[in-house]
Structure 1
């Protein structure tokens, strides 16, 4: 099959959608399919065309104020001019999926929305109501809708009435990566909290920093970058905890995995998540997690290896959750296949769907 994958951003950009598209695209290419990733580059600094691990990448300049929207109508015209068996669009929350839906023609159209229902800021949330009309176009043109969690599936079916089109296939992890992980040596008595992800306000990193004055035995490692970074630095400075926060970015994959394994507790206090790949990876590394309730993150909560916090998220709730998990390293979580699925298994399920749609 010739498959077009449409997404707002792609590697070397990082994030949940970027990881999802990269993992499935490379495996589909390895299985013998002709895969093109059609994406955007607001900066204009990346190569317009690349080939990475057998996947051809085409990048168009986009208008992306505040790292949002990724307005690139060139995607529509490109799809109209090229032949594909399947167009697979990703992310309801950016415009490339709309251009993919409009450029569908007679091709089969698969949509993985990574849907959160609301926007990530007050302004974006305000725009969500008028955008819902455009969103309905994407869903109405989709032949198959892949949701990455039961939470997302219920939201999509409730908001867009697409029962019969939806199927749940979770995000995956590379289980082999987590075998024989080396744990970094720590100073005597040092305890590490970890956050991995984009630095945006809705991700809730600020709540972790605000809890540090109560968690005097802990240091915080923040792995990632994003538009909220400067404010987070200022917050740490104002709370006099800057010396206990380590800011990391551009880590190699091995360095990131060792970060997971060497931490005592992983925290993801995001208000909007359709799945939560970093939580799955932390659990696979044997690190217990604290997550915010109210999104798909809640599906990881078992009260033993992953504790959930109800909104509003405040410092004493965080410290109480962390103390409940302290020292609770584990391996058994890997057997919980309903939570952790290998990417190879994920792609087998997606490939089966795409093959059916080609018949």
Structure 2
């Protein structure tokens, strides 16, 4: 098959959409398909790099990191049409989705769309939350993706959101796959891990909680910080906050005001290849976010052998199993009890790690690519 993937966000950005598109490209190519990617450039010009077409774009200033483009009669679009893909698969809802629709119409192709983002939780970033209401957002999303041939969502939660928007297109649930092998730490990393520990002041004997991801208000990290403050009255624990984002300064200020500078460490952004090393420093992954469509970091943590303690969220149902690979909590007391329970089981660390790893085998890249490939074949007439 000739497959065109489109996305407004790609490298050098690091987020769930970028990871998903990269993994899908890699796995489909490995299966013998011819795959190309159409995305937006962070430079002032259009260029092609291997199988990736970058269209010149500008800072749209709608929300942090958003790009816009006026390149709709670009030479690369003509080149893609001449290449004549068998199917187009869009991954974001704005600029390159318009390109995907245009290419679909010109070539009469099937058009698949993956819905990655729950916009209800991100409206505060769009013109600072002053322009688009939830109802208006629903109307926009329905208009943008209501005409595609089939929609992929990673969870039932995301599918339910689209059903609530009144979208009546076929919807298939296919969890995004990740490279599980990345999170198996080999012995050669021992010295590097020691170096990271020394740099950030984490001792090997410390009991460490970790949040890893984008530091946005919607991630509700404030709640975790307050819970950790109370928990430290009963347990001697530390916390790593790994990542960057628009809410970082607010969180650092909060930590300083609470006097938790010795207990909560901010690392900032870390290189993608070092992410597994940071998971290896911790005992438990924690999050209070309810804005996830799937929660790729939950899967990464479990693949690293970390139990997960997360606020109850439909996106985590079937992923986090209470008492097996972690706990979902509904309030502060349940959070504290979950942490205490897991720390008290630290003597059974190998059993805990084994259960965590085994629980995410179904999220492998092979399973992900296989399910997407089957969906494509349902739509293509050769």
- With the shorter chain as reference, the TM-score category is 0.7 to 0.9
Q: Secondary structure at 1:212's aligned position in 2?
A: helix
Matching of residue 29 in structure 1 with residue 29 in structure 2: yes
Q: Secondary structure at 1:187's aligned position in 2?
A: coil
Q: Residues 104 and 135 (structure 1 numbering): CA distance in 2 closer, same or farther, change over 3 Å?
A: farther
Q: Secondary structure at 2:285's aligned position in 1?
A: strand
State the TM-score, normalized to the length of structure 1. 0.85
- Indicate the residue corresponding to 2:158 in structure 1: 152
CA contact (8 A) 1:39 1:60 kept: no
- Indicate the residue corresponding to 2:198 in structure 1: none
Q: Tell me how far apart the structure 1 counterparts of residues 72 and 311 of structure 2 sit (CA, whole Å).
A: 36
Deviation at 1:118, TM superposition (A): 1.2
CA contact (8 A) 1:116 1:272 kept: yes
Q: Residues 264 and 78 (structure 1 numbering): CA distance in 2 closer, same or farther, change over 3 Å?
A: farther
Q: Residues 206 and 98 (structure 1 numbering): CA distance in 2 closer, same or farther, change over 3 Å?
A: farther
Q: Tell me how far apart the structure 1 counterparts of residues 74 and 316 of structure 2 sit (CA, whole Å).
A: 37
Deviation at 1:180, TM superposition (A): 4.7
1:1-359 to 2 correspondences below 5 Å: 1-41=1-41, 44=43, 48-49=46-47, 51=49, 55-62=51-58, 63-67=60-64, 70-74=67-71, 81=78, 82-83=80-81, 84-92=85-93, 94=94, 96-98=96-98, 100-101=100-101, 104-105=104-105, 106-116=108-118, 118-122=120-124, 123=129, 126-162=132-168, 165-181=170-186, 184=193, 187=203, 189-216=205-232, 217-304=236-323, 305-310=325-330, 314=332, 316-326=333-343, 327=346, 329-336=352-359, 340-359=362-381
Q: Tell me how far apart the structure 1 counterparts of residues 35 and 223 of structure 2 sit (CA, whole Å).
A: 40
Deviation at 1:28, TM superposition (A): 1.9
Q: Residues 34 and 129 (structure 1 numbering): CA distance in 2 closer, same or farther, change over 3 Å?
A: same
The size of the alignment, in residue pairs, is: 349
CA contact (8 A) 1:69 1:95 kept: no
Deviation at 1:133, TM superposition (A): 2.7
Supply the RMSD in Å over aligned alpha carbons. Answer: 2.9
User: Rg bigger for which structure?
Assistant: 2
Q: Tell me how far apart the structure 2 counterparts of residues 291 and 76 of structure 1 sit (CA, whole Å).
A: 46
CA contact (8 A) 1:117 1:155 kept: no
Q: Tell me how far apart the structure 2 counterparts of residues 289 and 158 of structure 1 sit (CA, whole Å).
A: 29
Q: Tell me how far apart the structure 1 counterparts of residues 370 and 121 of structure 2 sit (CA, whole Å).
A: 32
Q: Residues 247 and 169 (structure 1 numbering): CA distance in 2 closer, same or farther, change over 3 Å?
A: same
The more displaced of 226-235 and 316-325 is: 316-325
What's the CA shift string for 1:41-71, capped at 9, x where partnerless? 5x538x84353xx642414314133316543
What's the CA shift string for 1:301-353, capped at 9, x where partnerless? 3111221122xx54x4432321122226321343336x742112211221222
CA contact (8 A) 1:75 1:96 kept: no
Deviation at 1:90, TM superposition (A): 1.2
State the TM-score, normalized to the length of structure 2. 0.80
CA contact (8 A) 1:309 1:317 kept: yes
CA contact (8 A) 1:79 1:103 kept: no
Q: Which runs of 5+ in 1 are unaligned?
A: none
Structure 1 runs (4+) greater than 4 angstroms displaced: 75-80, 180-186
Q: Residues 98 and 290 (structure 1 numbering): CA distance in 2 closer, same or farther, change over 3 Å?
A: farther
Q: Residues 351 and 75 (structure 1 numbering): CA distance in 2 closer, same or farther, change over 3 Å?
A: farther
Q: Residues 138 and 78 (structure 1 numbering): CA distance in 2 closer, same or farther, change over 3 Å?
A: farther
